[in-house]
Amino acid sequence: MSVRTADPTALARDLLRCPSVTPAEGGALGLIEGILKPVGFDIHRVTFTEPGTAPVENLYARIGGTGPHLVFAGHTDVVPPGEQAKWTHPPFAGEVVGGTLYGRGAVDMKGAVACALAATLDHLAARGGKPKGSISFLITGDEESIAVNGTVKLLKWAAERGEAFDHCILGEPSNVAALGDTIKIGRRGSLNGTLVITGKQGHVAYPERADNPVRGLVALMSALMDAPLDQGNARFDPSNLEFTSIDIGNPVVNLIPGEARARFNIRFNDHHNHASLRMLIEKRAATAAGRIRWHIDWEPSNASSFVADPGPFIDLVSGAIKDVTGRAPKLSTTGGTSDARFIKDYCPVLEFGLVGQTMHQVDECTPVADLTTLTAVYRDILDRYFK
């Protein structure tokens, strides 16, 4: 079968023109199917849902029937563009101006998906259309939302079909300042909670007849933020707890409220798990509370800390990056969560994509030169992996 090479900038432009704001498919998965199916990939488009959530369509594509099996993972869903009038270039136009590609998802992460597609087509074209092993694409439409109908279910669906993966490259925007400076080899976990203080409602002119929960909220918030959760370690930054909202719901100023609430998020390293972290926070709150009436509403979490062990796959990817970019990438576990937290249960996973400085911003963009370079890195990884 004859395989044509592809221009990563043109592919990225076409993907950006698909308005795939979560959970809308927006034509992005159809575009990928149209690229991969003619060159011999077996394509599956699978929709998952559960009560209370929107259905999400996902794509799994594979060529080859033997090992080793390398997977390119990613997502085509994007966050909303916000007020489009503030964009210099329309968010779904995929405009190239002055050597820069603009659009929602340019770096997070349709650009990397396009580079993986282009590199794969190039690799197959050089080998008569057949890989020396198997190459797959695991693409979700649910990463930017609650992530319950995307990668986590697609992986389970694939495993139940007998699919087994050896290694995975996830194209999240891992680089900090320049392409080639960072590989994500793990992530901290994430846990959300709401601190609830119960008081007694009353008139502000008679505070002795009431119990102002705001006082207790301030005291316990301070106690939870004052002492560090840990000092971190060689692989992870310290864990941190940050309050992100205070909600009292009081529309007037002459009423002491009966309840005050504050939401928080904890990003935690491998000193903790979900259970031990909840115990630690509740112990600290209890110690500081005295007579304050409080409780914490914990939210379910599917994000635990993880890190990839040193080994040949990290060496292979690092070597490809250095050969193409001239940079020796830093191995990092910083940043937020990603779908790597699900993939790591099935195979070793590394994150390497574009530079993330404009992700989720107005006028999200990437230099065209970075698309060309990332494609070359992915091509070098494929050539090394299947040598």
Q: What is the pLDDT of residue 240?
A: 96
pTM over 0.75: yes
Catalytic option among 33, 57, 122, 143: 143
Type of residue found at 119: A
Q: What is the pLDDT of residue 377?
A: 98
Q: What is the pLDDT of residue 1?
A: 45
Residue 361, Cβ density class (10 Å: 0-12 exposed, 13-18 middle, ≥19 buried): middle
Does residue 142 have an active-site annotation? no
Q: Measured between alpha carbons, how far is 20 from 92 in angstroms, rounded to an integer? A: 9
CATH 3.30.70.360, the chain: domain bounds:
190-298
Does residue 282 have an active-site annotation? no
190-298 — its CATH code?
3.30.70.360
CATH 3.40.630.10, the chain: domain bounds:
8-187+305-385
Q: Measured between alpha carbons, how far is 259 from 256 in angstroms, rounded to an integer? A: 9
Q: What is the pLDDT of residue 302?
A: 87
Q: Measured between alpha carbons, how far is 295 from 282 in angstroms, rounded to an integer? A: 8
Catalytic option among 77, 108, 172, 211: 77
Type of residue found at 312: P
Q: Measured between alpha carbons, how far is 284 from 287 in angstroms, rounded to an integer? A: 5
8-187+305-385 — its CATH code?
3.40.630.10
In the predicted model, residues of the chain with pLDDT beneath 50 are 1-2
The label of the residue with tokens 């040598």 reads: 387
Lookup: tokens for 212: 């102002």
